Amino acid sequence: MARYVITGGNRLEGTVTISGAKNAAVAILPAAILVKGKCRVENVPDISDVRIMLRILADLGAKIEYEAPSTIILDCTDIHSSCPNPEYVRKMRASYYLMGALLSRFHEAHVALPGGCNFAARPIDQHIKGFAALGADVDETEDYVNLKPGPKGLQGAKISLDVVSVGATVNIIMAACLLPGKTVIENAAKEPHIVDLANFLNTMGAHISGAGTDTVKIYGVEELKGGSYAIIPDQIEAGTYLAAVAATGGNVLVQNIIPKHMECITSKLQEMGVQFIYYDDAVRVISDGRLQHTTVKTRPYPGFPTDMQSQICVCMSIAEGISRLTESVYETRFFGYCTELASMGADILISGKTAIISGRENLSGAVVRAHDLRAGAALVIAGLVAQGATEVENINFIERGYERLVEKMNALGADIKRLEK
């Protein structure tokens, strides 16, 4: 199994360019199923979740060409099946978007339950509630979701989500795009990638308004045609580099970002003593590595993202004083990676939804294991800070979502080796 061997202690200096957003890409690529015509998509990150999604689409009959390393032409005009290959569907979480996309296109879908990062119970009841409200007959088996039109057929509807769910919001937007009538999603998620998906679909001819607010309206259209679109930069990848520089100390220009998307993260790092200089599409992060304690509570956007919980936990582990980190999206997200950080010397006490972190002068290298994507990224940051060598195992999780992580970090002065065995 491949692993990273990290020699810690280097400051990070230089410039890093952020890739296209993973969570937007894994929604926008299956959304091309709705389009009869060529979708030219720029800023597609080369990460394993995207490769799996493209493989699923190709199996369904999509034509995929590369115009440049991160620009693809995706043509789903001739896809012929509403049953994607379960072997690949089970390899990633966001494959659940195939349900909404295929339901919209074929008025039926047969999709295996998704796999991916299992840092918590991740139910899809709100997705199912949405499909049923749109008139689908839903048959859930132990490992499949089968959707077909119910007795009254498929049509727009009003859906109020019981929990703010990114996945359900995306899935319902996709499912509703080609249905007759108007769909209203209340208590919708507001994450940047929801807006990005809606912008992509509108570029292709959909009629969606309100994305980025808690009420999204979708007016059904008869068909979507091709067009060209560029995926937004990855808020969480950028946040991971900011946290890494905060922890190691250094001075790095993080470019290709949307500054507004970063504020929920930079405001907390600023409280910890990190400096930021903003430009139109970049931010410079300056840190002397001496951090102060703070309090963070994860929340749906525009709150502090749960996907940055583990990275800021590393910063708190070496900050002066006692920090409190409360998780309000996925309660069990602390388990696993906090034990790994403890083996590196971090002092973390978990009490229900809150981790109480007593900052230590330093961490020390150890052999640790990534339990999911973001937890894995946090262990990399811990390794960059620690004295001595850290080995991070299970890096397949990290490579789901970070494009060329080793290359980008090493260009900033990190010392990470990727070993195959």
The amino acid that residue 23 corresponds to is N
Query: Closest approach of Cβ 312 to ligand UD1, in Å?
Result: 14
| Residue 191 or 391 with smaller CB distance to ligand UD1 | 191
Cβ-based nearer residue to ligand UD1, 145 or 409: 145
DSSP secondary structure of 130-196: HHHHTTEEEEE-SSEEEEEE-TT-----EEE-SS--HHHHHHHHHHHTTSSSEEEEES----HHHHH
Minimum CB distance to ligand UD1 smaller for 39 or for 94: 94
Chain position whose Cβ is nearest to ligand UD1 = 167
Which region among 28-36, 80-88, 103-111, 164-172 touches ligand UD1 (by CB under 6 A)? 164-172
Closest CB to ligand UD1 among 93 and 408? 93
Q: What amino acid is encoded at 71 in this protein?
A: T
Of 172 and 315, nearer to ligand UD1 (C-beta) is: 172
Judged by CB under 6 A, which of 234, 307, 372, 403 binds ligand UD1?
Answer: 307
CA neighbours closer than 13 Å in the CB half-sphere of residue 57: 29
C-beta atoms surrounding 145 within 10 Å: 23
Q: Contacting ligand UD1 (CB under 6 A), which of 166, 244, 382, 416?
A: 166
Only one of the segments 30-38, 166-174, 202-210, 392-400 lies at the binding site for ligand UD1 (rule: CB under 6 A); that segment is 166-174
264 noted as active-site residue: no
39, 76, 83, 117: the active-site residue: 117
The one among 10, 19, 43, 165 contacting ligand UD1 by CB under 6 A? 165
Strand pairing category for 347-351 and 109-112: unpaired
- Of 21, 60, 103, 168, the one binding ligand UD1 (CB under 6 A) is 168
Our CB check for ligand UD1 shows the closer of 329 and 414 to be 329
β-bridge mates for residue 320, sequence order: 292
Start-to-end CA span in the chain (Å): 5
Helices (H), 190-234: 192-203
Side by side, which strands form the sheet with 215-219? 158-160, 182-186, 215-219, 207-209
Binds ligand UD1 by CB under 6 A, chosen from 115, 202, 330, 404:
330
Q: Measured between alpha carbons, how far is residue 323 from residues 29, 295, 417 in Å?
A: 39, 6, 32
Q: How far is the CB of 287 from ligand UD1 (least distance, A)?
A: 25
Would you say 193 and 27 are in contact if contact means Cβ atoms under 8 Å apart?
yes
| Strand-pair partners of 39 | 74, 227
Contact between 124 and ligand UD1 by CB under 6 A: the answer reads yes
Site string for ligand UD1, 175-194 (x = CB under 6 A): --------------x-----
Number of residues that bind ligand UD1 (CB under 6 A): 20
Among candidate residues 224, 277, 226, the one with its CA nearest the CA of residue 252: 277
Question: Which DSSP letter does residue 114 get?
Answer: P
Q: Which residues pair with 224 in a beta bridge?
A: 35
Of 23, 235, 266, 317, the one binding ligand UD1 (CB under 6 A) is 23
Q: How far is the CB of 349 from ligand UD1 (least distance, A)?
A: 23
Closest separation in Å from C-beta 146 to ligand UD1: 17
Is there binding between residue 127 and ligand UD1 (CB under 6 A)? yes
Q: Is the dihedral of CA 373, 393, 381, 419 positive or negative?
A: negative
Footprint of ligand UD1 (CB under 6 A): 23, 26, 93-94, 122-127, 163, 165-168, 189, 306-307, 329-330
Residues labelled catalytic: 117
